[in-house]
Amino acid sequence: MELSNRDGWAVVHGLVLGTIFLLAFAGGLAGMWSFAWKLVTPEGVRERLRRLIVGTWGMAVISWAAVITGTYIVYPWYRAAPPQGTTGAALQEYPRSFLLADPSLDLWHKFGMEWKEHIAFLAPILATAVAVMVTYYGPRLADKPLVRYALMAMFAVAFASAGIAAVFGALITKNAPV
Amino acid sequence: MAQQEAQDIRTRDGAAAAALLAAAIGIFVLGLLTTLADMERFSDFSQWLAWDDEVGALSGKSSLGLIAWAATWPVLHLLLYRRDRVIPAASVVSLVLFVAAMVLMFPPVFERLADL
């Protein structure tokens, strides 16, 4: 059993960073939903705020790490052009070309990767905006339901975009590993 | 007195509206560039977007989207942070930008527009 350099980075990008982000979402959403004076005591607000700030900043950092490793480490291996005349099993070293060469697999690139590589960028943008706003408003967030709803919507879209990227990442890797 | 005013300003929703709008603008720019980069008539622009040879046009598209987000956020913040009850309007504008970005970023759409 051996894990190559490429396997290692693919695991860090998708299984470690991507999974942590997706798993942390539920906690962050629940924290924001219940962050209201009518639901918790002043002591509870202070305790939840610390957790919310650490959690949202943690998710923002993780989403940046996932997108940067995906775009600048894993993706170049995926889209590398094969030498002229490369065919058959040798093409498997070049996942993008391998998928495009097979009409039964080309949609994994034309639809899956083309969507994944762009939509993934929504997650760090939105997660960072949420983290900054939670820090900016602090305990006042408990008085601002509309602001909380807006932040929860941004958080949910970040989760959905990361989820789409993660699902296609896993399925594309299954068909054409980097 | 000044501290009290600063505290009061932080109870207003303008800052959140600015963050929401800036994120939507950055995402819209990314969506727009995704479609433009795929269009035959903008092939020179698409090549210019390859800021990193190994990553290709995605490097320029994503960087410009992030620059648009990072540049508009402080400007919008300064314009809106003293205002209150602007979240509903900002949400509507952001939703329109976001839906447009999702359409422009959806492969069947930008591939259909590529030949225009």
Convert the pLDDT of each residue in B52-109 to its tens digit: 999 999 999 999 999 999 999 999 999 999 999 999 999 999 999 999 999 999 999 9
Helix (H, G, I), strand (E, B) or coil at A144: coil
Distance CA A14, CA A17 (A): 6
> Does the beta-carbon distance from B11 to A144 stay under 8 Å?
yes
Interface of B with A (CB under 8 A): 10-11, 13, 15-17, 19-20, 22-23, 26-27, 30-31, 34, 52, 54-56, 58-59, 61-62, 65-66, 69, 73, 87-88, 90-91, 98, 105-108, 111
> Does the beta-carbon distance from B15 to A137 stay under 8 Å?
yes
Assess whether pLDDT exceeds 90 at residue B4: no
Assess whether pLDDT exceeds 90 at residue A110: yes
Contact in structure between B75 and B26 (CB atoms under 8 Å):
no
Bridge partners (DSSP) listed for residue A44? none
Assess whether pLDDT exceeds 70 at residue B1: no
Q: What is the arithmetic mean of pLDDT over A91-99? A: 96
pLDDT of residue A162: 98
Assess whether pLDDT exceeds 70 at residue A100: yes
Q: Please state the pTM of the whole predicted model.
A: 0.96
Assess whether pLDDT exceeds 70 at residue A153: yes
pLDDT of residue B115: 80
Assess whether pLDDT exceeds 90 at residue A115: yes
Share of chain B above pLDDT 70, in %: 99
Shortest distance between the Cα of B105 and any Cα of chain A, in A, equals: 7
Task: Collect all residues of chain B within an 8 Å Cβ-Cβ radius of residue A118.
Answer: 30-31, 34, 58, 61-62, 105
Q: What is the arithmetic mean of pLDDT over A147-169? A: 97
Q: Of the given ranges (A64-68, A170-174, B9-13, B21-25), which has the lowest mean pLDDT?
A: B9-13
Distance CA B81, CA B10 (A): 8
Instruction: Look at residues A121, A172, A92, A128 and name the one whose alpha carbon lies nearest to residue B55.
Output: A121
Residue of A111, A125, A150 with shortest CB distance to B26: A125
Q: Of the given ranges (A153-162, B52-61, B106-115), which has the lowest mean pLDDT?
A: B106-115
Q: What is the arithmetic mean of pLDDT over B32-40? A: 96
Residue of B10, B22, B62 with shortest CB distance to A121: B62
Contact in structure between B10 and B1 (CB atoms under 8 Å):
no
Express each pLDDT in A7-55 by its tens digit. 999 999 999 999 999 999 999 999 999 999 999 999 999 999 999 999 9
Which residue does chain B place closest to A108, by CA atoms? B107
